[in-house]
Amino acid sequence: MQLKYWGISVALLLPMHAKAVGYSSEYISCVNSGSNAFSSCAKDEFKYQDDRLEALFKKTLVVYSDKDKKVQNKYQKQWLKQRDKRCGEDNKSVSDAYKSKYYLCALKDTVNRANTLEKLSFRYDASTYFTKRR
């Protein structure tokens, strides 16, 4: 019987965290506005998501030992370099088309990575909450 109530408690907590995952409402509004400034929408959202990624990355580091934090920091730096290389950061100054291509690609990758880290941080928060309550 207690397991049933625990499941309901978790289900009630999920929507609060799940709504933060993904693109911002400002970006969705900007894209849906039909504005020709789509590149600007993507660039602004990329900045927002990049900041979100950094904050979530720092939040997830608390579960690691000092040695593992160094490994995770190294991995994160490699991931950022690979994202920028794959998305063509070097070419974004060539033209507006390349700039748009870069921001759209980098935005997609950044949102996906941030979502993954957010899910990990939620799992950590939930497990910490439930182990402290016992």
The pTM of the full predicted model, rounded to 2 decimals, is 0.73
40-75 pLDDT, tens per residue?
899 999 999 999 999 999 999 988 899 999 999 999
- Identify the pLDDT of residue 14: 36
Distance, in Å, from the CA atom of 3 to the CA atom of 22, rounded to the nearest integer, reads 30
Phi, psi of 65 (to 5 degrees): -70, 170
- Identify the pLDDT of residue 120: 83
Residue ranges of the chain whose pLDDT lies below 50: 1-19, 129-130, 133-134
Per-residue CA distances from 1 to 7, 10, 14 (Å): 10, 15, 21
Distance, in Å, from the CA atom of 51 to the CA atom of 24, rounded to the nearest integer, reads 12
